[in-house]
Amino acid sequence: MDLSLDYLLSIEHDLFPEEEEKQEEKKPLKQCTYCDYTSIYKHRVIKHESARHGVPMNKFFCRVCKKEYFQASDLKLHEATHFGGMPFKCDICDKRFKRKSSIKKHMGLFHSEQLPKEFIKCKYCDTIFKSRTFLRSHIEKKHPTYSVKI
């Protein structure tokens, strides 16, 4: 039986509707570039565009278990589970982290004096950013109760 990808995605939504409903409150819809298909999940739109419109997908495969990912960063995090789990390293003290975002917080907390002047530190959580635009976006997402005056 050959099932279409859109059909399989709709079954996934039917099986777990509460997950998508919870997410809908938080995430904006992603829309197919070629038609009216939408989803809150970017990977679903990518799969849809590939199946329906022939758009080639970049796929990244785990070297150990062959699991496929559509983003290299997701693959890197996954592969770390096979190799001890800490793929990201601080260039200053060599401490290792599971996520790139953890290095940003670490740098803001422990190495802020050694950072180039163009880096900006969030005053609410010590995460560092290369631009005010990224800092503003971070504050809106992670600290929405504070006003954004940068």
Q: Where are the domains of the chain?
A: 5-53, 58-88, 90-142
What average pLDDT score do residues 108-120 get?
A: 77
CB-based contact 128:122 (threshold 8 Å): yes
115 vs 125: CA distance, rounded Å? 17
- pLDDT of residue 18 exceeding 70: no
What is the structure's pLDDT at 13?
Answer: 52
Buried b (16+ CB within 10 A) or exposed e, 53-76: eeeeeeebeeeeeeeebeeeeebe
pTM of the predicted structure, to 2 decimals:
0.36
61 vs 70: CA distance, rounded Å? 9
Better-predicted residue by pLDDT, 90 or 21: 90
What is the structure's pLDDT at 2?
Answer: 45
Q: One-letter amino acid identity for 19?
A: E
Binned at pLDDT 50, 70 and 90, residue 35 comes out as very high
Better-predicted residue by pLDDT, 27 or 39: 39
What is the structure's pLDDT at 89?
Answer: 82
Question: Each residue of 50-104: pLDDT tens digit?
Answer: 889 888 878 888 888 988 887 787 888 788 778 777 777 888 888 888 777 788 7
Which range, of 43-47, 70-74, 134-138, 140-144, averages the lowest pLDDT?
Answer: 70-74
